[in-house]
Structures are given as structure tokens and as C-alpha cells.
Amino acid sequence: MTTDDLPTRAAEARRALARTLVGAGDLTDPEWRRAFEEVPRHVFVPYFYAPSGERISGDDRWFTAVHEDRSLVTHRTAGAATSSSSQPSLMATMLEALAVAEGTRVLEIGAGTGYNAALLAHRLGDDHVTTVDLAEDITGPARERLATAGYQPTVITGDGSLGAPDRAPYDRIIVTCGLSTVPPALLQQLTNDGFLLAPLGNALARVHPTGPGTATGRFLPHGAFFMPLRHTASDGVPTRRPPLPAGPGRPSTLPAATIADNHFRFLAGIAVPGLTWQYDLGEDGGITGARVWHSDGSIAQLQPDNTVGEAGPRPLWTLLEEAHRTYQDAGRPASDRYGVTITREGQRVWLDELDGLSWILGE
């Protein structure tokens, strides 16, 4: 593709993407629509990695992908994907959920390419946006691309779980990486009437501080799959799969198709956190088998005949079957039936009511 007509083609493609997001109901605020139409995503994603590991840049495949509603892997560590440009529809959902107004100060955890920070800066102004990411090889290019696109929010290299206390307090904190628990330092950096929006499990939680070390919130009816928050440069590399279970399996009460049910997967991610999944797909694209394991060495394998084997210190499939029974007994709840409570003693996700069925986060 030629570079001469790139700005014109990209502007047209951005407007088309914005129309798609509006048509799907993901983008309803005219100010955010203007940001998606005017911030050049191709500047922030000059290349991405295909699932095969191939680096794609500068051709029609790259241009098309950058202007589609899809997430794109943009950084790899030891061969594993550790940073990405999120799916635009999810970005739009999260940005609108922030409910910002003129003067709102926002901290973003997970700068990535810098694209989301540019959208925030377009809406709120550079001085009102701070973004943090772990490594200079991520924040350095993000800072350069922001400048190229005409934005200069504050970009900080550091552990996102610690926030950016020197620029606190913030009216909103948006986390664009997966959390197993809410970092207490982030809650301490919010204004009294501010809130944090973050992926917990595979759904978005909006969490409001209620006092020193305490907070409460509800989950939104939106799925949110993100790469996990990294504390060190080696974090985020997938756990090597333990040896598969040996010997005959037993009948499974958890059907393979249920694994694709996002509402169940939310509860599974809360009840049995930290799992890595691998699937077998049939000709129709449905799941016919799976392997699931944990860094503690536990592993389970579901066969196409719906038998399952387990090995390691914990019976993972048995735990998932228990979670599935809970899910069915509760009427197959979506994520917006859950809430979260945070105290100095711990963090707890509950179903329907504060004193209802609950799970301790991080266990």
C-alpha cells in the first residue's frame, strides 16, 4: 500500500469503524464518537502479531485489521503475548462507563500502545490524563506515538498496581488489564466521589471507595477479556502445561459446550481463578474437548467422549463442576447480578445480595 493516500484512507476507515460501533450500540456518546473518528489507531498500531507469531505491518492485512473491531497483539515476551490494542467496542464500552465530564481527571492502568490514552486526551485534554505501564519498551513507543498524533498525556513507567500517587487524586481510574484482586493503592488515589472501572474475572466491575481501605461495587453486563496485570517483566508468560492425566477418566457432569458460556466462565474465573485453557474444536467450531491447568501443577483433560481425567494437587474439573452446579441452581446468572465488597481483611464477590453466596477473591 502507498503512504501518500494513507491519511485519507485511514480517516475513512475510522469513520466506518465508528459507524459500526454506533450501529452495535457500543458507542452512544457523540463526544466519544468524535474521538474514535479523529484519533488515528494506525499510528498507535504500526504492527501486530498474528496467532502464528508473524509480525504484520504496512500492508493491506495490517490496514484492514487495524480498522476492524478486533483486539491486536502488539507486544510479546519470551514468545508469549503480553500486551495488545484492545477491541474498539470494548474500549468504547469502558470509556462510556467512566461517565466523564469536563475537568474529570483519569488514571489509566495499562498504557499499551497509547491509543486509549489518546482517546482520553482527545476528550479531556492532556493535563487530565495519566497512563502507566510496566516496561519502558512499552511506555517509550506509546509516548512517541502519542506525540506523533498530537497528544501529550503523562506517561509513567512503573507497576500499575501502585498507581501514580504523585498525580493523585483521580476522579476515575480505568484498568485495561485483568485483575485477580483490586490493588488497595488504586482505591487510595481516588477522590471521595470517584470510582475505579476494572476487569475482575472476565467482566467489568465499577468500584466506589466507601472509606479508608473499604469499597463496594457492582459488575456490568459486559464481558471483558484482558491480559493480566504484570508486576515484573517476566509476568504474563503462560504457565507450562503439566503432564496430562494418565489412566481412564470418569464421566463429566460439565458439558463441553458449557465452557463457551461466558456467564458461566465469569463464575468459574472467580470460583477457580488462575486457570489456563486449551480447546479442541469440531468441524462446526464447537468445543469437543479441553485441557485446563494451574500454575500449582493441577490439570484436567476433557475427552471428546465427555470423560475427564484429573491430576495434580487439586481436582480442577471437580471444582469447575461444583461451580457449574451453583451456576445452574442460581438461574444461570449474568455478571450484572454480582457485586464486590472490599475491606482491609479481604475482597469478596457476592451474588445478588451482600450477605448472599460469595467467593473470596485471590483464593
- Helix 88-97 vs helix 30-38: angle between axes, to the nearest 10 degrees? 140
Antiparallel, parallel or unpaired: β 214-223 and 250-251: unpaired
Could you give the CA distance from residue 347 to residue 13 in angstroms, rounded to a whole number?
A: 43
DSSP 176: -
For the purposes of burial, counting CB atoms within 10 Å of the CB of 114, is it exposed (0-12), middle (13-18) or buried (19 or more)? buried
Is there a cis peptide before residue 169, judged by omega within 30 degrees of 0? yes
Q: Nearest to residue 182, comparing CAs of 354, 359, 343?
A: 343
Q: Are 47 and 55 in contact (CB under 8 A)?
A: yes
DSSP 46: S
Could you give the CA distance from residue 311 to residue 316 in angstroms, rounded to a whole number?
A: 8
Amino acid identity at 69:
D
| C-beta pairs of 23-29 under 8 Å, 24+ apart in sequence | 24/69, 24/89, 26/88, 26/89, 26/92, 26/93, 27/89, 27/92, 27/96, 28/96, 29/96
Q: Are 308 and 250 in contact (CB under 8 A)?
A: yes
Which stretches of the chain are DSSP H helices? 6-23, 30-38, 41-44, 60-66, 88-97, 115-124, 136-149, 184-188, 262-271, 316-329
Q: Are 175 and 97 in contact (CB under 8 A)?
A: no
52 part of the active site: no
- Helix 30-38 vs helix 6-23: angle between axes, to the nearest 10 degrees? 150
Q: Which of 85, 86, 161, 252 is catalytic?
A: 86
Active-site residue list: 86
